[in-house]
Chains A and B, each alone.
Chain A
């Protein structure tokens, strides 16, 4: 059963990311002039100050690194350990921190191919992109 995550803060720069996730899309902030991703989102490009646009990503990527949390610290996670926190690099070249879900924690490997999935949160307007191991 997919867990209901605590909602992310919905009134900050990342809001379009969470709203799109609720609709089943993975969007990341992109600077058109620089042709560069910007994550964590800063609102405008830190290099050229152009307002960022939210661009769709296909949702395929790989595990750059991961850790298995055996001792959760945040209350809503206490009953879910062990779980996997990972740095995912999307095929489009941008990295984000997320979870690898729906598998044994020990099944995750460095470089493993993953595909995005979307979890609900306690805020009905906001979803959370997570990742599953891609079936061979």
Chain B
């Protein structure tokens, strides 16, 4: 397969973006990412977007092309939940490998905070999110309560406590405080975590992500062409996907996130082993999601992720730096676009452009995304040129 590379990226500070429109945000991110690569909008021959909840169109990607005044022959809007960043990047690879496109622009952004309002967004999630519209919705499950079911089962199975959940939240917050684009940057302590209200036992407010305006854009082209462009080359080494079911009601286990096969397949495609991974960015829409995904990916033993956080194993200087951008929990949760920042942070680190956050040695990164309540998983492995 023709190797692909990520040659352009763009991300703005996540949070509230007053005065910005969703299309304006998409367009700005797109132009910034192309500029970053040393390309122009006219170079784009394929666009891939998600359908933002804040801004529905018949074909969002085509609407974006129209907005930007370009007419790429391919414009696709995909549905992949939180696994979408891996889905979109892999689609870009396949189009490049198959000769369908040379320059693929991926834009993933949403404005649930400024355009929809936080409460309205949370309400839409209950009706058009991971809740089964027939057999679950009549019982009033909120999204946090579906993750709460998993958290309760996890705590029961492993004798875990709220300190394990808090360890994930505290880790993300500590790292977000050092990231200029992170949404949640005020300090958090175990005491301040515990002082927040229960949303859906055993999950408190700080076990849940904030709701953010934000997102990012990424430009993908062939690795060969990447060498002639502006930035250090970051290759897409491998991608892996898995999905066992969509709804919690169909889950065989409430304590296994099921992410494992996505990493196994990505490693096989990349011809790498887990020991090669220098940085992991793992999907964490709730603290329990971070613990369970880390364990399913084999990055900590079952029931051991909280202890690994407390031991400092996942800090920038630890055994395996993880979510050093603050994760969704503190970097931000831009609605449909959630997870794209995992990809951006990996590229920034592989390029060596992370400034004060830069890790000394990053050759291979893992970025993981998850759709639904532990329903689908997409894992990407990126590597230095």
Could you list which residues of chain A lie within 8 angstroms of chain B, going by C-beta atoms?
5-9, 12-14, 17, 39-41, 64-74, 76-77, 80, 83, 85-87, 95-99, 105, 110, 121, 128, 130
Contact = CB atoms under 8 A, between A and B. Distances in A.
Contact of A69 (B125, B142, B249): B142
B126 A66 contact: no
Contact of B201 (A40, A70, A96): A70
Q: What are the 4 A-B residue pairs with the smallest beta carbon separation, nearest first?
A: A67-B148, A68-B201, A77-B140, A65-B153
B137 A68 contact: no
Contacts of A13: 134
A39 B125 CA distance: 22
B140 A69 contact: yes
Interface residues of B, number: 39
B247 interface: yes
B125 A73 contact: yes
A99 B140 contact: yes
B20 interface: no
Contact of A110 (B137, B142, B148, B156): B156
B136 interface: yes
B150 A65 contact: yes
B135 A67 contact: no
Nearest to A105: B201
6 contacts: A67-B146, A67-B148, A97-B141, A97-B248, A105-B201, A110-B156
A69 B197 CA distance: 12
A71 B138 contact: no
A12 B201 CA distance: 31
Q: Which of A12, A41, A70 has the most CB of B within 10 A?
A: A70
A69 B200 contact: yes
Interface in B119-143: 122-123, 125-127, 132-143
A39 B132 CA distance: 11
A5 B138 contact: yes
A70 B132 contact: no
